[in-house]
Amino acid sequence: MRTVMSFLLLFPLAWLALVAGTLLWYRRGLMALWREPVLDQPVLIIESDDWGAGPVESQTQALNRLVDLLTRFRDCDGRPPVMTLALVLAGPDGPAIRREGHYRCRTLEDPVFAPLRAAIERGRRAGVFALQLHGMEHYWPPALMASPDPSVRAWLESDSLPATERLPAHLQSRWTDASVLPSRPLSDEAIAAAVREEVALFERLFGERPRVAVPPTFVWDARVEAAWARAGVEVVVTPGLRSRCRNAAGLPDCDSGPIVNGQSGPGVRYVVRDAYFEPERGHRAAQGLAALRRKWAQRRPCLLETHRSNFIGEAATAEQALAALGELIEQALHLYPELRFLDTATLASIYLSPGRAATGFSTRFAAWRARVRELRGFMRCAKLAGLAWLFNPRLTPAGGQAVHPA
């Protein structure tokens, strides 16, 4: 009898210790998710990377077709869908590299890119393109020049305007030296000089400094953010964490995070993009709508990552990608009549204006529970602690108010 009584006394204590330990271990992540701003209407942004340096004709045609498609739609406030273009400003000048033996580049200022620049400006004027800084190049030039891979050398010395998608994945990172693996960090001086150069060129090309930066392959560090901030960049797009290096297998690594929407960094504000819409990989409207539904349950914006390769490849593939994008937008407007189309800089300005937030507790709590279900490792511990029921999606109500998009 004494053993049974001891068990009955110790079991609740052990359970309480497990619950307390779980909450204590994840306290920072749980509090960050609670503080993350809450939207009162669903937001959809198509975030598209890699435009700029590379083949001119196929990109120009694709961008003009995207303008024609996107201008067909309007949200509840009469705004068209916005596709952000993360721009790469330069690529290799193959003949010059062959002739001189060291790295030379051709920037978007080159007359050969005039049709591409015109297509970008057409979309800007129509309100369907918002420009972001992806980088001077989609790689670190010294790393490519040091590569022993003959295919990389051939790519650098090409007579054409080669696409960076053809490079080995680890060499497509700009903010680490991946000429050897694991990669090596760049010097402070090299980072500062590279940021000054790319921001100045962006301003010459488009008449304004970039407000938003998207690190190529999402490998970068806080020193890059600080340099961007000094140059006028306000927002950094992240996948919810920061990878600072490429490991021995060439994969992004040295991670820090998690990072949430509206969180501040070294002079910048973060916006999270961790949903994907890649028709060339089989994605259709259903995948985009599922992401929008999940993000709306979390009262987060849905930033869908896509790449130019979806729209500039073989004619049939590009046509299918355009059709899938049009179907996604059409169905999203039908399912969510209150849907808002914003650009990323405008979204970030909402997060920068705490006076515009009016968060109801019930809405914030429901959004927090939906977010917590994606906190890495937490749900496994929550099940062991008997807390999983608290985060059951069937218990999450709809509705509420919070941050108001302008």
| Mean local confidence (pLDDT), 387-398 | 52
pLDDT digits 0-9 by tens, 130-141: 999 999 999 999
pTM tops 0.85: yes
What's the CA angle centered on 272, arms 395 and 219, to 5 degrees? Answer: 135
361-372 and 27-35 helices, crossing angle to 10°: 130
Is pLDDT above 50 for 96?
yes
Helical H segments across 298-340, by residue range? 309-312, 315-335
What's the CA angle centered on 148, arms 144 and 152, to 5 degrees? Answer: 50
CA distances from 310 to 47, 194, 290, 351, 376 (A): 13, 29, 20, 31, 30
Strands 105-107 and 90-92: antiparallel
Strands 242-246 and 252-256: antiparallel
Contact status, residue 15 vs residue 385, Cβ threshold 8 Å: yes
Q: How far apart are CA 287 and CA 291, in angstroms?
A: 6
pLDDT of residue 114: 98
Strands 43-52 and 235-238: unpaired
Q: Tell me phi and psi for residue 269, to 5 degrees.
A: -120, 140
pLDDT of residue 129: 98
Class of domain 43-354: alpha beta
Q: Which residue did the predictor score with more confidence, 315 or 393?
A: 315
Q: Which residue did the predictor score with more confidence, 51 or 353?
A: 51
Question: Residue 262: which of 84, 62, 63, 402 has the closest Cα?
Answer: 402
The domain segmentation of the chain, as residue ranges, is 43-354
Least confident of 19-33, 85-99, 102-116, 153-167: 19-33
pLDDT of residue 49: 98
Q: How far apart are CA 326 and CA 143, in angstroms?
A: 39
Q: Confidence band (pLDDT; 50, 70, 90) for 395?
A: very low
Q: How far apart are CA 112 and CA 108, in angstroms?
A: 8
pLDDT of residue 389: 53
- Tallying the residues shown for the chain, one arrives at 406
Helical H segments across 162-239, by residue range? 188-206, 222-230
Is pLDDT above 90 for 373?
no
Is pLDDT above 80 for 404?
no
The residues that bridge with 87 in the sheet, in sequence order, are 51, 133
Q: Three-state SS for 127?
A: coil
